[in-house]
Amino acid sequence: MPLPSFPKPFALVAVAGVAALLGACRSERVATTGSLYPIDYRARHPIVLTDGVRSLDVFVTGTGHIDPRQAADIDAFILEFRRYGRGTIVLDMPRGVAPGTGMAVERMGAAIRRLGADGGVPASRFTVTGYAVSNPGLAAPLRLSFQRMEAKVASQCGTWPQDLGVGDPAFNGRNEPHWNLGCATQTNVAAQIADPVDLVRGRPEGRIDTIRRTGDIMKIRDGKDPSTQWRQDGQTSVKSQVGQ
């Protein structure tokens, strides 16, 4: 029995449809496993190196003298600038303060520069500027600042894209940590790093104690114990107290 003949365009469409169906049956589905965002808190909240600003507010006291507490703060600030600072120290002095306080501000500014010179930062490394005081009745400090490299968390803490309660069953079913987990810890770690370069590479070895090393070598050659003998009150040794 002869096969029925179909119009040529209709036959082409039928063949294309059958081929598409067969291709869909044979194609493999692309499976996506795992989370769509990083689970590790170090990947979600990485610590990065960036340029930051260190600042210190020095409040005007009395006739313009610097008390011991603020003097200690300034000394520590000067030391940090010498170690890690860039450029100059900006001394931002208040303008438009209450009557009778302007002279104290100038005296404190001069005293700060003298402390800087004593700490190894000459007056040429200070840039003196001024800022307008909005309320003369409030305390207006002298602001010290400089630029330095610092470590900080690249992401924003306090972000909650998922509902931690029962309102998001899809998130609860995946059993994944919430997005903000670890951000505060990473921020605290970054704030405690004195030199951010330590995150990039280790420090070189320091100089050896040649005198101590030579003495230990000589004791070994003579058959003596090179270890240190530590005693308390001339009687009790450290080894005898271990484990008690």
Write the pLDDT tens digit of every residue in 21-65.
Answer: 555 555 555 555 555 667 888 888 999 999 999 999 999 887 888
**Once rounded to an integer, what is the mean pLDDT over residues 72-84?**
95
* Residue 207 lies inside a defined structural domain of this protein: no
Three-class secondary structure assignment of the chain: CCCCCCCHHHHHHHHHHHHHHHHHHHCCCCCCCCCCCCCCHHHHCCEEEEEEEEEEEECCCCCCCCCHHHHHHHHHHHHHHHHHCEEEEEEEEEECCCCCCHHHHHHHHHHHHHHHHHCCCCHHHEEEEEEECCCCCCCCCEEEEEEEEEEEECCCCCCCCCCCCCCCHHHHHHCCCCCCCCHHHHHHHHHCCCCHHHHCCCCCCCCCCHHHHHHHHHHHHCCCCCCCCCEECCCEEHHHHCCC
* Residue 75 lies inside a defined structural domain of this protein: yes
* Residue 106 lies inside a defined structural domain of this protein: yes
* Residue 208 lies inside a defined structural domain of this protein: no
234: pLDDT strictly greater than 70: no
* Residue 220 lies inside a defined structural domain of this protein: no
* Residue 129 lies inside a defined structural domain of this protein: yes
119: pLDDT strictly greater than 70: yes
Number of structural domains found in the chain: 1
**Once rounded to an integer, what is the mean pLDDT over residues 209-224?**
91
Q: What is the pTM of this model?
A: 0.62
Boundaries of domain holding 148: 35-159+171-200
* Residue 154 lies inside a defined structural domain of this protein: yes
* Residue 87 lies inside a defined structural domain of this protein: yes
124: pLDDT strictly greater than 80: yes
Residue 86's CATH number: 3.30.1330.60
